């Protein structure tokens, strides 16, 4: 309890500093941002439910996008101001492709939210060589698969990579068209909970499982500061009222509370760009460049 109270106190201090650093709240501010409750974007769900940005004087339009590159294309066209949640690899790929974006904060870390799965009593970690594994190329899941292979002394040359989105990969696994599939939450927990798959290796101690918040280049700093203040309010609410936050998540995702309670502990939410996060992004840049997914090797500082 004391630890939680301390977290709430610190959270409120950060919020006060954010609000005090802006020239806000004189006049209505317009903001177009993404809203995706899945895979488990708890601060976004809490912020929209509590209308926290609206309370800060922001007229928000929420937009749903299913892939990182569509977010960055919308930002390039000035149809979107902020991608609230984007995979670290997607942000890197977009920046290396000369998209006018900037990372404005971290969002979540969930190494256990990504995993290689197989059918029950099927694929084994020490038997990956020669296997067919589905994965969406150029994503955090692809990055993790590379780390898993390296851990076993293997490379992508030792397996057959099938480029599939997660739902298609799961379907291929169930029909035994592939031996393993890279999956993410909440698909991961649903499969395991239903006894339809088992985790071969998750991302713990291999990747950060990082998502970030991204803005279009040139967006007014007052808008960015307001966005950050809204995120800080959401994090404060989660720290102070964790049970209510999970109820919001169950409602927004349509998942039963039993699954929400299994998924939630896998996620850490904070907005600070720490040295560890920069190191993780640097490692991801190296991976994407070596795999030929990006042709220009950017410096990590180019992202900010």
What does the CA dihedral 112, 264, 303, 20 come to, rounded to 10 degrees? Answer: -150
Distance CA 230, CA 58 (A): 10
Last residue of a domain, one of 145, 174, 202: 202
State the residue range of the domain holding 159: 112-202
If asked whether residues 128 and 214 sit together in one domain, one would say: no
Total domains present in the chain: 2
**pTM given for the model:** 0.85
If asked whether residues 92 and 229 sit together in one domain, one would say: yes
Q: Helix 88-96 crosses helix 68-76 at what angle (to 10 degrees)? A: 40
If asked whether residues 169 and 292 sit together in one domain, one would say: no
Copy the structure tokens of residue 290.
């070596």
If asked whether residues 88 and 225 sit together in one domain, one would say: yes
If asked whether residues 8 and 102 sit together in one domain, one would say: yes
If asked whether residues 71 and 220 sit together in one domain, one would say: yes
If asked whether residues 33 and 51 sit together in one domain, one would say: yes
If asked whether residues 228 and 271 sit together in one domain, one would say: yes
CATH code of the domain covering residue 89: 3.40.190.10
If asked whether residues 188 and 74 sit together in one domain, one would say: no
Strands (E), the chain: 29-34, 58-63, 82-87, 101-109, 114-118, 132-135, 160-163, 180-184, 198-202, 210-216, 268-269
If asked whether residues 43 and 183 sit together in one domain, one would say: no
Query: pLDDT 10s digit of each residue in the chain, 304 long?
Result: 344 544 444 455 555 555 554 444 545 689 999 999 988 999 999 999 999 999 999 999 999 887 767 888 899 889 999 999 999 999 999 999 999 999 999 999 999 999 999 999 889 999 999 999 999 998 899 999 999 999 999 999 999 999 999 999 999 999 999 999 999 999 999 999 999 999 999 999 999 999 999 999 999 999 999 999 999 999 999 999 999 999 999 999 999 999 999 999 999 999 999 999 999 999 999 999 998 999 999 999 999 9
If asked whether residues 170 and 266 sit together in one domain, one would say: no
Last residue of a domain, one of 202, 236, 270: 202
Distance CA 69, CA 237 (A): 31
If asked whether residues 197 and 214 sit together in one domain, one would say: no
Last residue of a domain, one of 146, 170, 202: 202
Give the pLDDT confidence score for residue 121 in this predicted structure: 87
């Amino acid at each position: 309890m004391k630890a939680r109270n301390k977290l709430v106190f610190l959270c409120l201090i950060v919020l006060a500093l954010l609000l005090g650093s802006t020239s806000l709240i004189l006049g209505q501010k317009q903001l177009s941002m993404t809203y995706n409750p899945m895979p488990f974007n708890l601060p976004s769900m809490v912020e929209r439910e509590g209308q926290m940005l609206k309370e800060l004087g922001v007229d928000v339009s929420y937009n749903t996008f299913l892939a990182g590159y569509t977010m960055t294309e919308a930002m390039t066209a000035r149809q979107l101001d902020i991608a609230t949640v984007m995979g670290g690899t997607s942000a890197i790929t977009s920046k290396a492709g000369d998209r006018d974006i900037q990372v404005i904060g971290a969002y979540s870390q969930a190494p256990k939210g990504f995993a290689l799965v197989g059918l029950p009593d099927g694929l084994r970690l020490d038997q990956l060589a020669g296997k067919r594994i589905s994965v969406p190329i150029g994503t955090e899941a692809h990055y993790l698969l590379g780390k898993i292979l390296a851990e076993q002394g293997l490379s992508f040359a030792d397996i057959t990579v099938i480029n599939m989105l997660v739902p298609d990969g799961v379907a291929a696994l169930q029909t035994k068209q592939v031996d393993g599939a890279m999956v993410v939450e909440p698909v991961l927990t649903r499969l395991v909970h239903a006894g339809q798959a088992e985790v071969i290796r998750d991302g713990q101690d291999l990747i950060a499982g990082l998502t970030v918040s991204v803005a279009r280049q040139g967006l007014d700093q007052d808008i960015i500061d307001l966005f950050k203040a809204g995120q800080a309010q959401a994090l404060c609410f989660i720290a102070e009222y964790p049970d209510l936050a999970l109820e919001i998540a169950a409602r927004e995702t349509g998942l039963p509370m039993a699954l929400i309670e299994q998924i939630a502990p896998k996620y850490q939410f904070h907005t600070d760009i720490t040295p560890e996060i920069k190191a993780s992004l640097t490692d991801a840049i190296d991976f994407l460049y070596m795999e030929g997914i990006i042709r220009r090797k950017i410096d990590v500082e180019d992202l900010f």
